[in-house]
């Protein structure tokens, strides 16, 4: 659990540094340098363990990597158009979708707590996107919600595959897939671009080494010992950490409706975990 908390905190920190990086380069270019660099570092450090990688692990790691690629791409596009706190809150509504997606996969009716949680989250998203007395979902916020859906798929896929394969090597394969794909995507869509500012490379190095080599690679390891629902609960720390960092370093403000929305979303994330703890009163004999 401590490992997963660390991974989630690193992911929240990445939004702060990505915000700075987007002032120097496009979102696809940022990923196009961050992930290939992380992949090169990981493949070099663990080159002796590559022999453990088989066809199944490559396929599973690529599937997870594909969902994370969608997550990161839509996240950065959304981040370019809205602040990091709002991006984090909206993206982490994925944790509400995880038990619902899980229920669909096993063809089981979702628990009442999951349904209540989803409704509370929906209300939270409404307050978070409230603009001048009316709902105004911007394109950036819409991209954040798409990121949430992609992240849901990534969490569910990680939960399934990390219990079948070597979770650490699975993490390396997913980073390698994201690295190759994001570089190609950046070259095709945004064109060749080489950052020259030292600060830009400082951001890229931090994102590659700290947030990606540790954060992305260790998430399958952390999830391999936990259920998808518990993993989802820990993601509640993401918007909290991001909001604190955004307030401290970027002078970001959510406003009154944003704060209400954030509280509702955090409440919705906690509801599924609290439900099993509420025991039914036993009848006196």
What digits encode the pLDDT tens for the residues 189-213?
Answer: 888 788 888 999 999 999 999 888 8
Report if residue 280 sits inside a domain. no
pLDDT tens, residue by residue, 253-277? 667 777 787 788 778 767 766 766 6
Report if residue 200 sits inside a domain. yes
Report if residue 188 sits inside a domain. yes
C-alpha to C-alpha distance for 213 and 219, rounded to whole angstroms: 10
C-alpha to C-alpha distance for 136 and 221, rounded to whole angstroms: 39
Report if residue 283 sits inside a domain. no
User: What average pLDDT does this structure show over 59-63?
Assistant: 94
User: What average pLDDT does this structure show over 135-149?
Assistant: 81
C-alpha to C-alpha distance for 71 and 88, rounded to whole angstroms: 12
Neighbours of 7 (CB within 10 A): 25
pLDDT tens, residue by residue, 73-132? 898 888 888 776 677 677 767 767 776 777 777 677 767 777 787 778 777 777 766 655
pLDDT at 158 over 70: yes
> What's the total number of domains in the chain?
1
Report if residue 46 sits inside a domain. yes
C-alpha to C-alpha distance for 119 and 154, rounded to whole angstroms: 22
* Domain span including residue 146: 2-274
Report if residue 53 sits inside a domain. yes
SS (H, E, C) the chain: CHHHHHHHHHHHHHHHHHHHHCCCCCHHHHHHHHHHHHHHHHHHHCHHHHHHCCHHHHHHHHHHHHHHHHHHHHHHHHHHHCCHHHHHHHHCCHHHHHHHHHHHHCCCCCCHHHHHHHHHHHHHHHHHCEECCEECCCHHHHHHHHHHHHHHHHHHHHHHHCCCCCHHHHHHHHHHHHHHHHHHHHHHHCCCCCCCCHHHHHHHHHHHHHHHHHHHHHHHHHHCCCCHHHHHHHCCHHHHHHHHHHHHHCCCCCHHHHHHHHHHHHHHHHHHHHHHHCCCCCCCC
Report if residue 66 sits inside a domain. yes
Q: Judge if pTM exceeds 0.85.
A: no
Report if residue 281 sits inside a domain. no
CA end-to-end span of the chain = 40
């Amino acid at each position: 659990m401590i490992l997963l908390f660390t991974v989630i905190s690193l992911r929240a920190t990445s939004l702060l540094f990505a915000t700075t990086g987007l002032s120097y380069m496009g979102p696809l270019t940022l990923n196009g340098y961050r992930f290939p660099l992380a992949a090169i570092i990981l493949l070099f450090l663990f080159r002796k363990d590559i022999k453990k990688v088989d066809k199944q692990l490559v396929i599973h790691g690529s599937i997870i990597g594909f969902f994370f690629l969608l997550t990161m791409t839509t996240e950065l596009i959304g981040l370019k158009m809205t602040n990091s706190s709002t991006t984090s809150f909206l993206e982490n509504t994925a944790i509400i979708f995880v038990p619902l997606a899980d229920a669909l996969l096993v063809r089981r009716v979702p628990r009442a707590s999951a349904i209540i949680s989803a409704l509370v989250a929906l209300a939270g998203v409404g307050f978070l996107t409230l603009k001048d007395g009316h709902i105004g979902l911007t394109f950036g916020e819409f991209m954040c919600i798409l990121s949430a859906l992609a992240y849901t798929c990534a969490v569910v896929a990680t939960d399934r595959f990390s219990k079948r394969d070597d979770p650490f090597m699975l993490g390396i394969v997913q980073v390698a897939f994201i690295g190759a794909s994001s570089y190609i995507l950046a070259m095709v869509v945004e064109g060749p671009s080489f950052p020259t500012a030292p600060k830009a490379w400082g951001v890229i190095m931090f994102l590659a080494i700290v947030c990606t080599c540790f954060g992305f690679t260790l998430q399958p390891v952390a999830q391999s010992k936990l259920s998808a629902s518990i993993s989802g609960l820990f993601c509640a720390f993401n918007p909290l950490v991001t909001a604190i960092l955004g307030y401290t370093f970027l002078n970001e403000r959510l406003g009154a409706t944003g704060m209400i929305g954030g509280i509702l979303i955090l409440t919705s994330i906690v509801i599924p975990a609290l439900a099993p703890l509420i025991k039914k009163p036993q009848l006196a004999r």
